[in-house]
Amino acid sequence: MATTESRNSNLNQNRKMEKERYPLPDAERDVAASMGVGFDGRFYRYRTFRYERCCDAVSYAKLDRVKPQYQAKVINGAAWEKTVEPTDQEQCEMAALGIGFDGRYFRYESYRYERCADAVSYAKLQNRENGLSYSFQSNLS
């Protein structure tokens, strides 16, 4: 049985991750961008690394800058893209298959996927293996 302290810790961690799921306020974004951290619509990026949380990317950028061999690389500004959202057709198909989207990942059962097509493929496979029929026709044109 989980203690109250561990439940509170998990709740605080979930709130922190929920807060960081969405793009940052302009002031924080400007600080992160000045350090070479960008957001590609799904992940925060610093150089060739990607992070789920902006604070992790910024922390690594700070650590990187104190290294004696650090050399600032000229970057055309860190890109800050909008969060990738599923299309209307994808949302209809997701609903039919029981796939959720949390703003970053597509989720089916206990699995998470970066691409909607991967979640849909696995859900269809599971339906076939369990003898469930699936049919989806989009009314969108």
**pLDDT for the residue numbered 35:** 84
Residue-wise pLDDT for 86-131, tens only, equals 889 999 999 999 999 988 788 998 888 888 899 999 999 888 887 7
**pLDDT for the residue numbered 118:** 92
Share of the chain above pLDDT 90, in %: 14
Residue-wise pLDDT for 77-87, tens only, equals 556 666 678 88
| Distance of alpha carbon 17 from alpha carbon 36, whole angstroms | 22
Is residue 141 pLDDT above 70, yes or no? no
Mean pLDDT of the chain: 76
Q: For residues 25-36, give the mean pLDDT.
A: 81
The backbone torsions φ and ψ at residue 106, rounded to the nearest 5 degrees and listed phi first, read: -95, 130
Per-domain boundaries in the chain:
4-65, 88-129
Grade residue 17 by pLDDT with cuts at 50, 70 and 90.
very low
Partners of 107 in the beta sheet?
100, 112
The whole-model pTM stands at 0.48
